[in-house]
């Protein structure tokens, strides 16, 4: 789908306006976001994504036919759902980071806001690089598929233990501490403070840096997963950004009920593995289908069905488990 510069400029302007309103109007004061408020904001971002999805259907449909409009809308919806579901797993990491540094909840929104800014920039680089690589080297789809299959298997057997979580062992943090002094001063909410004419980074900045690093690692899985749905940069980027924009409110909405997502990692492991297998099968069929009479194509509609089913099952079993614990 050819997207004009005006569409790209319009979307970027929309994102910037929403971020500025968020920082300087809706959350200009440091305060704890209540669960009810967070849920309302989450619904707001989800609603915007749905409206954008409907817009894709009609805009593309009116200009290039509604069959293509339906296809692009389905690609956006599937990509958005993949990114949103994988983002929930990343929230567990945020909880560990804030807990380790004992970040007051009223300052967490500010850190997440700047984390989102970094994520938006990194995603743009990853997505355009990924699309360029796929267009030049079709075989890289097998590598992306292999990464997702490995990630799914690894996630299945991964043990997340908050007691063993130590950000100071992270290589990025160790390198940063050698480049710049770090203070334990958390009297304010600044990322940097000056003492005796020396600039120090605070735990708030270290937490932000860790969030950026975790998102970078997270993107290694999420970007190839969305690229399995669409190779259209506009669809991939917009679906990613809409999911990321709602990540902060989703964090505050779900942070208190993470027990209801106990089995989520099994669903995500299945989703990553399924998408990896899909990428390999679809690419093999496209490349060697005529020669080997192998014509198997896993559609995005089928992918959407698998994703929704796995997520629903994991949440149902998590709720049952949580209720048994409370009894």
* Structural domain total, the chain: 1
Q: 3-class secondary structure for the chain?
A: CCCCHHHHHHHHHHHHHHHHHHHHHHCCCCCCCCHHHHHHHHHHHHHHHHHHHHHHHHHHHHHHCHHHHHHHHHHHHHHHHHHHHHHHHHHHHHHHHHHHCCCCHHHHHHHHHHHHHHHHHHHHHHHHHHHHHHHHCCCHHHHHHHHHHHHHHHHHHCCCCHHHCCHHHCHHHHHHHHHCCECCCCCCCCCEEEECCEEEECHHHHHHHHHHHHHHHHHHHHHHHHHCCCCCHHHHHHHHHHHHHCHHHHHHHHHHHHHHHCCHHHHHHHHHHHHHHHHHHHHHHHHHHHHHCCCCCCCHHHHHHHHHHHHHHHHHHHHHHHHHHHC
Q: How far is CA 26 from CA 22, 31, 111, in A?
A: 5, 11, 15
pLDDT digits (tens, 9 = 90+) for 146-174: 988 988 888 888 765 555 667 677 788 88
Determine the pLDDT at residue 77: 93
pLDDT at 279 over 90: no
pLDDT digits (tens, 9 = 90+) for 225-244: 888 888 888 999 999 889 88
Is residue 9 included in any domain, yes or no?
no
Is residue 47 included in any domain, yes or no?
yes
**Full residue range of the structural domain in which residue 301 is found:** 30-326
Neighbours of 282 (CB within 10 A): 18
Is residue 298 included in any domain, yes or no?
yes
Neighbours of 230 (CB within 10 A): 21
Mean pLDDT estimate for the chain: 83
Is residue 276 included in any domain, yes or no?
yes
CA distance 323 to 327: 6
pLDDT digits (tens, 9 = 90+) for 260-273: 777 888 888 898 89
Is residue 193 included in any domain, yes or no?
yes
Is residue 22 included in any domain, yes or no?
no
CA distance 117 to 191: 15
Determine the pLDDT at residue 26: 63
- In this prediction, residue 322 has a pLDDT band, given cuts at 50, 70 and 90, of confident
pLDDT digits (tens, 9 = 90+) for 178-223: 888 888 877 777 888 888 888 999 889 989 998 888 888 888 888 8
Using a pLDDT cut of 70, give the percent of the chain over it.
Answer: 91
Determine the pLDDT at residue 76: 93
pLDDT at 29 over 70: no
Is residue 176 included in any domain, yes or no?
yes
Task: Give me the residues paired with residue 192 across strands.
Answer: 201
Range in 87-96, 137-146, 263-272 the model is least confident about:
87-96
pTM assigned to the model: 0.83
Determine the pLDDT at residue 327: 59
Is residue 18 included in any domain, yes or no?
no
Q: Phi/psi of residue 182, each to 5°?
A: -125, 135
Range in 84-88, 151-155, 307-311 the model is least confident about:
84-88
Determine the pLDDT at residue 53: 93
């Amino acid at each position: 789908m050819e997207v004009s510069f005006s569409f790209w400029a319009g979307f970027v302007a929309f994102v910037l306006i929403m971020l500025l309103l968020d920082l300087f109007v809706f959350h200009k004061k440091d305060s704890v976001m209540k669960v009810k408020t967070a849920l309302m904001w989450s619904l707001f971002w989800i609603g915007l994504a749905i409206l954008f999805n409907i817009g894709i259907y009609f805009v593309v449909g009116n200009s290039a036919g509604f069959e293509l409009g339906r296809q692009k809308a389905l690609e956006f919806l599937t990509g958005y759902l993949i990114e949103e579901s994988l983002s929930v797993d990343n929230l567990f990491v945020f909880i560990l980071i804030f807990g380790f540094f004992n970040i007051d909840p009223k300052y967490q929104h500010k850190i997440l806001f700047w984390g989102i800014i970094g994520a938006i920039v990194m995603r743009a680089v990853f997505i355009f690089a990924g699309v360029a690589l796929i267009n030049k080297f079709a075989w890289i789809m097998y590598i992306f598929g292999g990464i997702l299959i490995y990630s799914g298997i690894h996630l299945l057997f991964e043990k997340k233990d908050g007691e063993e979580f130590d950000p100071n062992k992270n290589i990025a943090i160790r390198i940063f501490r050698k480049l710049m002094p770090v203070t334990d001063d958390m009297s304010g909410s600044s990322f940097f403070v000056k003492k005796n004419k020396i600039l120090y980074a605070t735990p708030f900045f270290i937490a932000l840096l860790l969030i950026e690093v975790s998102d970078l690692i997270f993107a290694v899985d999420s970007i190839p997963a969305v690229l399995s749905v669409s190779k259209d940069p506009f669809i991939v980027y917009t679906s990613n950004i809409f999911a990321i924009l709602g990540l902060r409110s989703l964090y505050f909405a779900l942070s208190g009920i993470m027990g209801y997502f106990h089995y989520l990692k099994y669903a995500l492991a299945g989703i990553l593995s399924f998408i990896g297998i899909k990428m390999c099968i679809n690419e093999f069929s496209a490349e060697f289908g005529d020669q080997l009479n192998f014509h198997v194509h896993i559609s995005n509609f089928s992918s959407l069905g698998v994703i929704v089913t796995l997520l629903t099952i994991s949440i149902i079993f998590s709720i049952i488990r949580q209720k048994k614990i409370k009894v």
